[in-house]
Amino acid sequence: MAAPVGPMKFWKPGTEGPGVSITEERQSAAESTGVSVIYNPYASLSIEQQRQKLPVFKLRNHILYLVENYQTLVIVGETGCGKTTQIPQYLAEAGWTAEGRVVGVTQPRRVAAVSVAGRVAEERGAVLGHEVGYCIRFDDCTDPQATRIKFLTDGMLVREMMADPLLTRYSVLMLDEAHERTLYTDIAIGLLKKIQKKRGDLRVIVASATLDAEKFRDFFNQNETNDPSKDTSMILTVEGRTFPVDIFYIQSPVPDYVKSTVETVMKIHQTESDGDILAFLTGQEEVEAIVSMLIEQARVLSRSGMKKHLRVLPMYAGLPSSEQMKVFERVSHSVRKVIVATNIAETSITINGIAFVIDCGFVKLRAYNPKTAVECLVVVPVSKASANQRVGRAGRNRSGKCYRLYTEEDFEKLPQSTVPEMQRSNLAPVILQLKALGIDNVLRFPFLSPPPAQSMVQALELLYALGGLDKHCRLTEPLGMRIAEFPLNPMFAKMLLESGNFGCSQEILSIAAMMQIQNIFMFPPNQKAQAIRKHRKFAVEEGDHLTMLNVYEAFIKHSKSSQWCQEHFLNYKGLVRATTVREQLKKLLVKFKVPKKSSEGDPDPVLRCIVSGFFANAAKCHSTGAYRTIRDDQELHIHPTSVLYAEKPPRWVVYNEVIQTSRYYMRDVTAIESTWLLELAPHFYQEGTVRTRHRHQMVSLLYSQLLYLKLFLFPSSIFLLFDGNRNKLGCNSFKGI
DNA sequence: CGTTTTTTG
């Protein structure tokens, strides 16, 4: 096993060393997405024979026994063990779907729910949507009478609880990929724990990676005695079926992982036999830089007579989908594919045929500063769990190698797992959702990982300001309940609900829908200037909201033509999605009897309506040329993607969100009149100085949860990025009060 | 004056 030679030196940790052995690495590699069913080495066997070959089959009766006797089962299912497709079927065969009951399986991502449902339906010889179905936003493929095994996104499960708080139709719920700790998985986990107390018959199966198994078991265990025979939860491990992956570390730290990635790719290409390469980087810019460097080097190589060619492909979420599809294309034997990707390739997509993985050791994550209520994107070291997940992207169809561009010593210093999303998110939608589910005292909600107290305060303050909560922190009727019903952030929901009063619900619907889609404007690297010129046609001086409205209306006027989109460098799929989102939102407005009206081209009511939802996000331009928020005097700038960027800056603006990268940037910005703030949010802004008196009011709310939090808790000022950061989490969390 | 990790309802 020759390591690459030259400036890049790797070594494989020996079994005697401090490092983990290869087998251990594989065991701790997190589970794959449900898309893993693509690869099937037993395709020539009958479906029944294939099912029996899966590692999980040997444990079929054991699993059924445990589900029968324990309320919660934590399954540590390694990659390729077959748990996602098989366990629901075992349960159905054992009678858990008798008398109209349903076995539900949740997935964090839509595609996974659909593809696994398809595979299971096929195995059962069923038509998808009958006995086996799936339910994701915009696509309910189930039959209320016939469906027995139902795959759904965890977000959908939380939504279902609004109609049926005890999930009475379900006999078993399996939460797949729970170790990913996505926001909705965590909410579902807390809610299921509560439901189990009222429904002793409900069974929960948590599918997780090794690392978190005990945490899940202890969380669900209702046994308060020391007698383990009374435990209500249990762990079961199912071995996987993957190929060995050798891990190599770099000998000494590299100053520039971009350069090192390029060098490592070239070394692999020149010294290793067949097999595609997957490199993990942190962002679009890095990916594109490496792609062009590699193409350059590959040219030099082929000129010098190298027979084997390199096909270099970028992969990130912002890439047009036609470009994304290229990474799945098969290439001839004389070509080696190199895919340079962001963390999209870690869980969201699975590429077959990867033999070599290069891991730069960093990841770009969204984090939330609970003190300033600003989200930021930060590049941080990956967690061990992520690094192992990256390793696992090789070894799916054959043995492989993983090159880590950091030392083994540094690997050991990495945090065990990434901080759960719950602890690095804006909690306003979460709190509202919980309140709508009847959980009034959100402080006592069983969070698997409690979020920072300050995030709670921010969320409660915002919801109060929007009128969704009253001064006792209770959900208001009907406003609060209605805001919660929208699948949107509360500010958008409030804006929509107000749109009837401004006589512009048509326009606001289009704006709200468009704002949910990222990357509407596309910039193909080679035609960037041309694209910007085309985009300028839609721009208006009022700002991004009305610009997006223009785009949407033009799209409709041109009969939703994909060709028209291409000509104008617009994201066709995104625009189609905007129309779907708009339909869904429109139904809710009809339900709440918001009159259908148009301002007939008058921008004024539309802008005022935007302010009625986003008044809290107002900023003023100062003589320095920089903006500052009204709430906190925080310095802000207009994001370079805004149409107001490089224009004469308007004195007052509102924005949808702030994102901190190199500076604090406002995204989706619209010019407003300061008088509108006083007019439309008199409870939030005072006349004269336009300073907030909101906080003042909040502190006067006796007995409110908010006051409770404010008086008793230490405010946090540090971003919580890693679960391992015990001290910081300890002082910021409200657990135990 | 200088840019978007990734999901989900």
- Reported as a single tens digit per residue, the pLDDT across A636-695 is 999 988 899 877 889 999 999 888 777 889 999 999 998 898 889 887 876 654 444 444
State both tokens at A448: 């698997």
DSSP characters over A142-164: --TTT--EEEEEHHHHHHHHHH-
For B2, which residue's CA is nearest its C1'? A640
Backbone angles phi, psi at A75, to 5 degrees: -100, 120
% of chain A residues with pLDDT over 70? 87
* A627 CB-to-strand B distance under 7 Å: no
Q: What value does the mean pLDDT take over residues A257-285?
A: 93
What mean pLDDT comes out for the span A421-425? 92
Residue A719, beta-bridge partner list:
none
- In A 91-110, which Cβ lie closer than 7 Å to strand B? 108-110
Distance between CA atoms of residues A50 and A42, nearest Å: 6
Q: Give pLDDT tens digits for A309-338.
A: 899 999 998 888 888 889 999 888 889 999
Q: Please give the structure tokens belonging to residue A678.
A: 């006083």
State which residue has its Cα closest to the C1' atom of B6.
A344
Q: Determine the distance between A609 (CA) and B1 (C1') in angstroms.
A: 30
* Confidence at A33, pLDDT banded by 50, 70, 90: very low
A 259-288 residues, CB < 7 A, strand B: 282-285
Can you spell out the DSSP letters for A615-673? TTSEEEE-TTS-EEETTT--EEEE-TTSTTTTSPPPSEEEEEEEEESSSEEEEEEEE--
Q: Please compute the mean of the pLDDT values over residues A48-77 and round it to a whole number.
A: 93
Q: Strand pairing of A233-238 and A245-250? A: unpaired
Predicted pLDDT at A314 = 94
Give DSSP secondary structure letters for A328-357: GS---TTEEEEEEE-THHHHT---TTEEEE
pLDDT band for position A10 (50/70/90)? Answer: low
Does the structure show a pLDDT above 50 at A722?
no
- Average pLDDT value for residue range A709-731: 31
Q: What is the pLDDT of residues A487-534, one digit of tens each?
A: 999 999 999 999 999 999 999 999 999 999 988 998 877 787 888 888
Least confident of A65-74, A318-327, A368-377: A368-377
Q: Which residues contact A305 (CB under 8 A, 6 or more apart)?
A: none
Going by pLDDT thresholds of 50, 70 and 90, the confidence category of residue A588 is very high
The pair of three-digit structure tokens given for residue A543, joined into one six-digit string = 């700002």
Nucleic strand B under 7 Å from the C-beta of A645? yes
Q: How confident is the model at residue A479 (pLDDT cuts 50, 70, 90)?
A: very high
Average pLDDT score over chain A: 84
Q: Is A526 exposed, middle or buried (0-12, 13-18, 19+ CB in 10 A)?
A: exposed
Give yes or no for CB of A516 within 7 Å of strand B.
Answer: yes
DSSP state of A474: P
Contact between the CB of A450 and strand B at under 7 Å: no
Asked whether residue A156, judged by its CB, lies under 7 Å from any atom of the DNA or RNA strand B, the reply is yes
How would you classify the pairing of strands A362-369 and A374-381?
antiparallel
Q: How far is CA A70 from the centre of its chain?
A: 31
When pLDDT is cut at 50, 70 and 90, the band that residue A719 belongs to is very low
Give the residue-averaged pLDDT of A229-248. Answer: 91
With cut-offs at 50, 70 and 90, classify the pLDDT of residue A19.
very low
Answer yes or no: are the C-beta atoms of A221 and A72 closer than 8 Å. yes
**Residue A115: strand, helix, or coil:** helix
Q: Does the N-terminal peptide bond of residue A228 adopt cis geometry, omega within 30 degrees of 0? A: no
Does the structure show a pLDDT above 60 at A4?
no
pLDDT over 60 at A194, yes or no: yes
* Whole-number Å distance between alpha carbons of A448 and A431: 15
A480 contact partners, CB below 8 Å, separation of at least 6:
A432, A435, A436, A463, A467, A468, A469, A470
Within 7 A of a protein CB, which nucleotides of strand B?
1-9
**Which residue gives the smallest C-alpha to C1' distance to B9?**
A487
Q: What is the per-residue pLDDT across A108-162, written as a single tens digit (0 to 9) for each? A: 999 999 999 999 999 999 999 999 999 999 899 999 999 999 999 999 999 999 9
pLDDT at position A42: 65
> Is the per-residue pLDDT at A462 higher than 50?
yes
Selected residue with higher pLDDT from A42 and A197: A197
Q: Which of A708, A216, A684, A652 is nearest to A457 (CA)?
A: A708
CA atoms of A268 and A69, how far apart (whole Å): 51
pLDDT value for A457: 83
State the pLDDT at residue A724. Answer: 26
Looking at per-residue pLDDT, the higher value among A1 and A643 belongs to A643
pLDDT at residue A688, as a whole number: 55
Provide φ and ψ at A401, rounded to 5°: -135, 145
